[in-house]
């Protein structure tokens, strides 16, 4: 715990670490030997298991984004919301206090938890009504970088998101400091809400809309063609529908960047989370190459890159040895015609802050496509042929704004099924000219290379077989993590049957 506390103190900006330190941790009595690690799905704490407790109040508030003041909804009056931090195998008891004027829930994105704690109204629980509370209780079995957000409507595109870090108790001291970085695209309180945006999208059907900048910058769907090809420097074609006034790094616009203070020569672990609703970013740190060590919580063969793409719902951990000076961490929206970017700073020495539109040379260097990472040996699934296969076809268009999976929107399509103990292969086909980040609840899956992910980007017309082990019974969601696509129907159930 010494180590954890020190690291938490080193977390940057926002006082994220301080939040972790004030969280109530009930110490269990450690058993002999290793820390107890419960199986996925443990819904009650076992003897000796440490319990992490926290309360999250979701309510309307006004936030200062570093200049712009916005009325929005948030957890605990900050954006991102308070960091939750525990170690692998801990039991989490997290109380949602809904003071919003709407139903809500919390989904613990990427955590391999038991079904009833997954936070999907209509599938795993009833919605949490205004004025009501809901207690989420689950074991977090796997270390990694995660986050949490509502699974109701387009509430994710408000300020309702926060990082969730699960530490590995066995992890060696591989770095000196840590910076948790949460990226977002922001529209709420700037004259329209995410619900307004969804109405514009569905009403306008992809044509220019009511926003100041033409509204919908993207032109997805089979009818429109791609803005880029799926090869070469721009792999994703068309990647977003919504024009955003701001892009945020740890809740701040580039004019007031979140700044991480460190010393030259220190090795820093960056934990980068894309909490945006409609924006793929290209991420680069000026003056440095980064070594990617994990994605979606799973270790990879360390890969040096100039920059990398991060889709909505994805996470990447990178280690970097810092130079002396002031360095911009830039997240550049991919394929958005409106311009702008998210910016944070790492300061290890003297120097003035770069311009808000600084463009590090690394952005034009070798940009990693995350699905090409190689898995660490420890992250691989056991070698096994699939027992069953399923098809998952991503379909739809901007005009009309209709998205679905396997021939119909969610609620009208037929859930995929699997049986406990099976190795299931899902043949995913993106039948659209847009890029979609596909997210699976309650499990992680393996790409053909063995790389483990819970969220993966599929470029236009891309096909990708993903394998998963059926080891966590329940009714789970599989969906596009473009929150507007998901809300318009790009989701399907994955149900265990006997």
Among 86, 480, 491, 492, binds Cu ion (CB under 5 A): 480
- 356: tokens are 């808000």
Residue 33's CB is within 10 A of a number of other CB atoms, namely: 6
**Residue matched to tokens 């790094």:** 249
Task: Give the binding range for Cu ion (CB under 5 A) out of 338-346, 418-426, 435-443, 444-452.
Answer: 435-443
Rounded least distance, CB 114 to Cu ion, Å: 27
CA distance 257 to 390: 45
Task: Give the binding range for Cu ion (CB under 5 A) out of 95-103, 133-141, 268-276, 472-480.
Answer: 472-480
Phi/psi of residue 296, each to 5°? Answer: 50, 35
The two counts, helices (H) then strands (E), for the chain are 4, 32
4 binds Cu ion (CB under 5 A): no
Rounded least distance, CB 392 to Cu ion, Å: 13
Name the residue nearer to Cu ion (CB basis): 318 or 434: 434
Rg (the chain; Cα; Å): 21
CA distance 478 to 251: 28
298 binds Cu ion (CB under 5 A): no
- 477: tokens are 């969601």
Rounded least distance, CB 410 to Cu ion, Å: 12
Q: Taking a C-beta distance cutoff of 8 angstroms, is the pair 330, 341 a contact?
A: yes
Which x/- pattern, by CB under 5 A, does the window 384-423 give for Cu ion?
Answer: ----------------------------------------
- 165: tokens are 């870090």
Q: Sign of dihedral through CA atoms 69, 75, 78, 80? A: negative
In order, the DSSP letters of 289-324 are -EEEEEETTEEEEEEEESEEEE-TT-EEEEEEE--S
- 251: tokens are 């809740």
Among 149, 298, 436, 453, binds Cu ion (CB under 5 A): 436
- 177: tokens are 């400091």
Rounded least distance, CB 250 to Cu ion, Å: 25
What separation, in Å, do the N-terminal and C-terminal C-alpha atoms of the chain show? Answer: 42
Name the residue nearer to Cu ion (CB basis): 193 or 482: 482
Name the residue nearer to Cu ion (CB basis): 25 or 335: 335
Name the residue nearer to Cu ion (CB basis): 284 or 480: 480
Rounded least distance, CB 193 to Cu ion, Å: 21
CA distance 280 to 286: 19
331 binds Cu ion (CB under 5 A): no
Name the residue nearer to Cu ion (CB basis): 163 or 240: 240
335 binds Cu ion (CB under 5 A): no
149 binds Cu ion (CB under 5 A): no
Q: Taking a C-beta distance cutoff of 8 angstroms, is the pair 306, 366 a contact?
A: yes
Rounded least distance, CB 103 to Cu ion, Å: 23
Among 418, 485, 488, 493, binds Cu ion (CB under 5 A): 485
Describe the strand order of the beta sheet including 455-458 as a list of residue ranges. 416-418, 491-496, 475-480, 436-440, 455-458
Q: Taking a C-beta distance cutoff of 8 angstroms, is the pair 184, 178 a contact?
A: no
Name the residue nearer to Cu ion (CB basis): 242 or 480: 480
Rounded least distance, CB 462 to Cu ion, Å: 12
Task: Give the binding range for Cu ion (CB under 5 A) out of 55-63, 286-294, 347-355, 433-441.
Answer: 433-441
482 binds Cu ion (CB under 5 A): yes
Rounded least distance, CB 436 to Cu ion, Å: 3
439 binds Cu ion (CB under 5 A): no
Rounded least distance, CB 422 to Cu ion, Å: 27
Rounded least distance, CB 395 to Cu ion, Å: 10
Name the residue nearer to Cu ion (CB basis): 115 or 277: 277
Rounded least distance, CB 482 to Cu ion, Å: 4
Task: Give the binding range for Cu ion (CB under 5 A) out of 90-98, 132-140, 255-263, 429-437.
Answer: 429-437
25 binds Cu ion (CB under 5 A): no
Burial class (CB in 10 A: 0-12, 13-18, 19+), 283: buried
Rounded least distance, CB 479 to Cu ion, Å: 8
Name the residue nearer to Cu ion (CB basis): 114 or 485: 485
455 binds Cu ion (CB under 5 A): no
479 binds Cu ion (CB under 5 A): no
Count of residues of this chain found to bind Cu ion when the rule CB under 5 A is applied: 4
- DSSP symbol at 119: -
473: left (phi over 0), alpha (psi -120 to 50) or beta: beta
- 184: tokens are 């977002």
CA distance 24 to 53: 5
Query: Which residues would be at the binding site for Cu ion (CB under 5 A)?
Result: 436, 480, 482, 485
């Amino acid at each position: 715990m010494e180590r954890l506390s020190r690291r938490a103190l080193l977390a940057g900006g926002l006082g994220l670490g301080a939040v972790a330190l004030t969280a109530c941790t009930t110490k269990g009595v450690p058993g002999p030997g290793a820390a107890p690690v419960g199986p996925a799905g443990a819904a009650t704490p076992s003897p000796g298991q440490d319990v992490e407790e926290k309360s999250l109040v979701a309510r309307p508030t006004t936030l200062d984004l570093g200049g712009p003041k916005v009325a929005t909804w948030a957890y605990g009056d900050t954006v991102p919301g308070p960091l939750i931090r525990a170690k692998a195998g801990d039991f989490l008891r997290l109380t949602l206090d809904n003071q919003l004027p709407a139903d809500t829930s919390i989904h613990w994105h990427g955590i391999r938890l038991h079904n009833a704690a997954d936070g999907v109204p209509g599938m795993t629980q009833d919605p949490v009504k205004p004025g009501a509370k809901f207690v989420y209780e689950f074991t977090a079995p796997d270390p990694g970088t995660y986050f949490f957000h509502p699974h109701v409507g387009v509430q994710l595109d408000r300020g309702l998101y926060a990082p969730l870090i699960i530490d590995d108790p066995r992890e060696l001291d591989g770095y000196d400091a840590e910076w948790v970085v949460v990226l977002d695209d922001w529209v709420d309180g700037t004259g329209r809400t995410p619900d307004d945006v969804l109405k514009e999208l569905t009403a306008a059907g992809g044509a220019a809309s009511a926003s100041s900048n033409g509204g919908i910058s993207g032109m997805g769907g089979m009818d429109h063609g791609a803005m880029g090809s799926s090869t070469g420097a721009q792999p994703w074609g068309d990647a977003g529908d919504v024009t955003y006034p701001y892009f945020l790094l740890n809740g701040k616009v580039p004019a007031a960047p979140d700044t991480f203070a460190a010393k030259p020569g220190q090795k820093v672990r960056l934990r980068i989370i894309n909490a945006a609703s409609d924006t793929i970013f290209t991420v680069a740190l000026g003056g440095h190459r980064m070594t990617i060590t994990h994605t979606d919580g799973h270790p990879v063969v360390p890969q040096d890159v100039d920059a990398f793409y991060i889709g909505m719902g994805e996470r990447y951990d990178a280690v970097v040895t810092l130079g002396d000076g002031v360095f911009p961490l830039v997240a550049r929206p991919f394929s958005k015609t409106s311009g702008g970017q998210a910016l944070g700073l790492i300061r290890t020495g003297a120097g003035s802050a770069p311009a808000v539109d600084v463009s590090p040379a690394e952005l034009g260097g070798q940009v990693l496509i995350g699905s090409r990472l190689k898995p660490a040996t420890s992250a691989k699934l056991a070698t096994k042929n699939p027992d069953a296969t399923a098809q998952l076809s991503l379909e739809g268009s901007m005009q009309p704004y209709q998205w679905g999976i396997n021939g119909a929107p969610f609620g009208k399509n037929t859930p995929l099924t699997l049986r406990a103990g099976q190795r299931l292969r899902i043949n995913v086909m993106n039948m659209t000219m847009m890029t979609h980040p596909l997210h699976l609840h309650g499990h992680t899956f393996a790409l053909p290379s063995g790389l483990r992910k819970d969220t993966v980007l599929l470029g236009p017309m891309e096909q990708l077989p993903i394998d998963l082990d059926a080891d966590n019974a329940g009714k789970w969601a599989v969906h596009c993590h473009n929150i507007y696509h998901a809300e318009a129907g790009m989701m399907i159930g994955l149900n265990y049957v006997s």
